[in-house]
Structure 1
Amino acid sequence: MASGPPALSASEPGLYLLHHDCGFVAYLVAAQARLSLVRHLTEEILAACGVPADTAAAAQLVLSELVGNAVRACGDDVPVVVEVYASGTQAVVSVHDPLPDLLPEPSESAMDSDMAESGRGLHLLGLLCTDITVSPSPIGKQIRCVLGPG
């Protein structure tokens, strides 16, 4: 039986973490080392809160795709806010970025097509997530993904 979520501490410059019930909020300047830490916390915290291992692993992938999209759209070292939490056996991953008008657009090419260089991640999100919403947020826009059985 899970003993509860692990303690959080910010040990990386450019990353500020806040714990909340079965999850966390990370304010970060996007960079590989910080993203790796947030990915690790995602799996660890979701598992500790009873989310199935396959859903926690999928949440890590979704997190990487959403932050990667923000970096591609806004440039290196973009400030983003990441929210991850468990809701029963589901995982919720939200990423806020500073460009409210730049919305994700899926590619018209198939996922296995060599022609499509971008937009395939949205197909992946559609396969992994039971719900995806894009909405304005105080810092730009928020993309929120729900994963796992309801």
Structure 2
Amino acid sequence: MDDMLRRARMEDQRRSQRPVLPVCVPGLYVQHGDRGFVAHITASEFAFSTVRGLTVSVLMAYGTGQATAHTAEWLVSELLGNAVRACGDHVPLVVEVYVTGRSVQVNVHDPAADLLPRRSAVAMDSDNAESGRGLGLLDMLAPGWDVVSSPVGKQIRCHIDAK
């Protein structure tokens, strides 16, 4: 019984130290995750701006350095932009950002399972590049990023080593 009480008190203390999340509004529903957050959003300038800001503030609240937090923010921004380009305006998205040991995980889930990102063989600085440099940036900032299919779409997962 004492062990259960001790665990409950530790959990209450941990919850009281969590960063403050925004109030839920239509198109933006944010929950605490384990050392991070999960945001269910409808693509909009407001939702994107809020999620980018949360990425930095929440990661830093959990002890991530500023450089790593800003790298994660850049990844979130790039992945959200790619999702809108692939799926269209007002697409429903799920963004997960959390600390895992000495690293950070950024996941963005969209409903378009059939629209998979493809890496280009053309260099990012080439005049022959036909579109943005987003996937090249992912390769630089989160080498080894991957895509996982799900029953409701796909999830792009990026792992960042903390600096």
Normalised TM-score (structure 2)? 0.83
Per the alignment, residue 50 of structure 2 pairs with: 37
Q: Specify every segment of 5 or more residues in structure 1 that has no aligned partner in the other structure, as ranges.
A: none
Residues 1:8 and 2:34 aligned together: no
Within a 5 Å distance, the mapping from 1:1-150 to structure 2 comes to 4-118=17-131, 120-149=133-162
What amino acid is the match of 1:72? R
| Deviation at residue 34 of structure 1 after TM alignment | 0.8
Q: Specify every segment of 5 or more residues in structure 2 that has no aligned partner in the other structure, as ranges.
A: 1-15
| Deviation at residue 132 of structure 1 after TM alignment | 1.0
Match of 2:145, SS state, is strand
Could you tell me whether the CA contact under 8 Å between 1:111 and 1:120 is conserved in 2?
A: yes
Q: 1:130 to 1:21 in 2, by over 3 A?
A: same
Match of 1:123, SS state, is helix
What amino acid is the match of 1:92? Q
Q: Deviations over 1:7-30 (max 9, x none)?
A: 213354310111122111100001
What amino acid is the match of 1:14? G
Match of 2:131, SS state, is coil
For these two proteins, the number of residue pairs brought into alignment is 148
Match of 1:77, SS state, is coil
Question: CA RMSD for the aligned pairs?
Answer: 1.9
Could you tell me whether the CA contact under 8 Å between 2:38 and 2:96 is conserved in 1?
A: yes
Structure with a larger share of its residues in strand: 1
Could you tell me whether the CA contact under 8 Å between 1:27 and 1:81 is conserved in 2?
A: yes
Match of 1:8, SS state, is coil
Match of 1:131, SS state, is coil
- Structure label with greater radius of gyration: 2
